Structure 1
Amino acid sequence: MGIIAILGGDRRQEFLALELKLSGFEILGFGNGVQPASKSLAEALQTARVVLLPVPATRNGIFLSQSGAIDPLPFSAVLEHLRPGTILLGGLLPPEWISEAERRGAVCADYYLEETVQLKNALPTAEGALRLAMQELPVTLFGIRAAVVGYGRIGSLLCEKLIALGAKVGILARSPVALADAELHGAQTGSFGNGIPPFFSDCRVLFNTVPERVLGRSFLSALPQNCILIELASAPGGFDPELAKEKGLRVLPAQGLPGRFYPETAGGILADAVCNILSANGFS
């Protein structure tokens, strides 16, 4: 089937590698815990027909995302050894990385943007957010006020699970359809166009799922100081964390919870997406 080189990442890559091996692919790792491991980046890329970058591919636009005490791996080094015709896959690939790789003859795809990945990732993200809240709150979720900003895949799951745990849930969203659905599930609701919702005043935990700055100074000022803000959305996030801290609020960055708490589940989800992309590109 040809060799797949898996570069960088975290424990998700180890489980991704195991799933791909079960599907019959030959795997070679570098800059992570994937086995068998290549002795060098050049060796890993010399024979690989497919190169898998992590998700997110990078956190700073220069180096691949990696966990643990591993020498940083710059994308420029990957480009140096990338062969024409190689299939390059990654999660949340920067557009400039895609352009640079395609100029060298690579075929690029972002496996994290696959609809199946987005759908399947919602559950471990929601469960991870609840796990984080239960770890950090000094009270049970039962009976407290919890706010969820956004009502997409993750927000709706959070609403459902919080209500099942006995929390009093408030949903802040834009869509009238989303707000109606939240009300049918037993949540209080508020719209961005109607000012600050009353459930902000006694909220003990707020989960943001909206990747844009929708919570400004007035919203943050309405929250009690014992409220914990859990940021689930990608950059720039739903609020300014420094402004929140100025208001005395505790902020918990919580991006990438599937990989952090459930790497086996997350790795399996990524493996399915990779197999689908490779099949569509005639790789066997």
Structure 2
Amino acid sequence: MASLLDGCPLALLGGDQREVELMRALAAGGARLRVVGLPTDGVPAERLSDPAAAVEMARAVIAPMSGADGQGRLPTPLDPDTRIRLDGRLLSAIGPKRPLFIGALPPALAAAAAARGVRVVELASVDEIAVANSVPTAEGAVRLAMERLPVTIHGSKALVLGFGRCGTTLARLLDAMGADVGVVARRAADRARIAAMGLTPWPWSKLAEAVADRHVIFNTVPAVVLTAAVLAATREDVLIVDIASPPGGTNFEAARRLGRTAMLARGLPGKTAPVTAGRILAAYLPALIRAELERL
């Protein structure tokens, strides 16, 4: 890391234990850090209260992996007295000369950033980070299920909706734990892979049939696929763990009306294994920062 960011001035704005772990690694690699909304105990970093002042001398800005809300607020759970908002003033301070690294931005905020020439890198869409994060995400989703199911994962009937990065890891984990695993996937090639793994493949056209006898359903698809009609086909005691991007893939109002237990579980890497999730960022972010700086 030292060869990549040694002496490079960076601004860190908010975050949780993941960003603390990242901050430690960046400092150890020689980066010069200005930090807002994070504790700096034992880390050689300058702590400021004004985000605009923090980014002023930075070559890149790092915001939380958990992203910003619809009003542009960045989470600061470890420093609750500090408020950080990606408003017009802060976006203008970042400007076109400093890439902004963040988990994800709401569309309106992404448009506001683009209007000010801010180069935004959404880390949740970076393949190497997303694949690595799928492990703590899957473990966190299974932990939630274990806490709420009246039966063990071993021997239970589980269904995974989607066979992307998280869906694949989740299906493998459930299978390793002894569950009877079905996976709903769009592509025929994915369904062939699912069958080759010894799991049960389902096309989306048979979703209502696929959910019928499942004890637990894990959704990874960021579109409403668990509609009222599909939910009505589930067991009365089904547990639904939705790990898709907001608003999730479940009609939660219909689930409540039908008496089905459904939860939207976001940010699982930071909640399940924040140190591991922070080390994932530390492993991949320096090269991403260097690549963006070379483009400027």
TM normalised by structure 2 equals 0.86
Query: Could you tell which deviates more after superposition, 102-111 or 146-155?
Result: 102-111
Q: State the partner residue of 1:187.
A: 199
Q: CA deviation at 1:45?
A: 2.4
TM normalised by structure 1 equals 0.89
Q: State the partner residue of 1:132.
A: 144
May I ask how many residue pairs the two structures share in their alignment?
282
- RMSD over aligned CA atoms reads 2.2
Q: State the partner residue of 2:229.
A: 218
Distance (Å, rounded) in 2 between the aligned partners of 1:49 and 1:247: 52
18, 28, 36: which is aligned to 1:22? 28
56, 65, 88: which is aligned to 1:46? 56
Q: State the partner residue of 1:9.
A: 15
Task: Write the letter of the residue equivalent to 1:248.
Answer: G
Distance (Å, rounded) in 1 between the aligned partners of 2:222 and 2:35: 32
Residue 9 of structure 1 aligns to a residue whose secondary structure is coil
Q: Structure 2: any 5+ residue segments left out of the alignment?
A: 1-6
Query: Could you tell which deviates more after superposition, 273-282 or 136-145?
Result: 273-282
Q: CA deviation at 1:103?
A: 4.9
Cα deviation, 1:108-155, whole Å, max 9, x if unaligned, reads 322332221122111111111112211222221111111111112221
Distance (Å, rounded) in 1 between the aligned partners of 2:113 and 2:165: 32
Q: State the partner residue of 1:66.
A: 76
CA 1:106–1:176 in structure 2 vs 1: closer, same or farther (change >3 Å)?
closer
Q: CA deviation at 1:218?
A: 1.9
159, 170, 177: which is aligned to 1:147? 159
Distance (Å, rounded) in 2 between the aligned partners of 1:114 and 1:282: 17
The sequence identity of aligned pairs, in percent, is 33
CA contact (8 A) 1:90 1:111 kept: yes
Q: State the partner residue of 1:196.
A: 208
CA contact (8 A) 2:70 2:109 kept: no
Distance (Å, rounded) in 2 between the aligned partners of 1:226 and 1:66: 37
Distance (Å, rounded) in 1 between the aligned partners of 2:58 and 2:243: 34
Distance (Å, rounded) in 1 between the aligned partners of 2:252 and 2:138: 21
Alignment of 1:197-276 (within 5 A): 197=209, 199-276=210-287
CA contact (8 A) 1:122 1:157 kept: yes
90, 93, 118: which is aligned to 2:130? 118
Task: Write the letter of the residue equivalent to 1:212.
Answer: A
Distance (Å, rounded) in 2 between the aligned partners of 1:195 and 1:104: 44
Distance (Å, rounded) in 2 between the aligned partners of 1:165 and 1:277: 35
Distance (Å, rounded) in 1 between the aligned partners of 2:247 and 2:18: 24
Query: Could you tell which deviates more after superposition, 114-123 or 102-111?
Result: 102-111
CA 1:136–1:33 in structure 2 vs 1: closer, same or farther (change >3 Å)?
farther
Residue 120 of structure 2 aligns to a residue whose secondary structure is strand
CA contact (8 A) 1:125 1:154 kept: yes
Q: State the partner residue of 2:101.
A: 89
Distance (Å, rounded) in 2 between the aligned partners of 1:105 and 1:238: 33
Query: Could you tell which deviates more after superposition, 177-186 or 73-82?
Result: 73-82
Q: CA deviation at 1:61?
A: 3.6
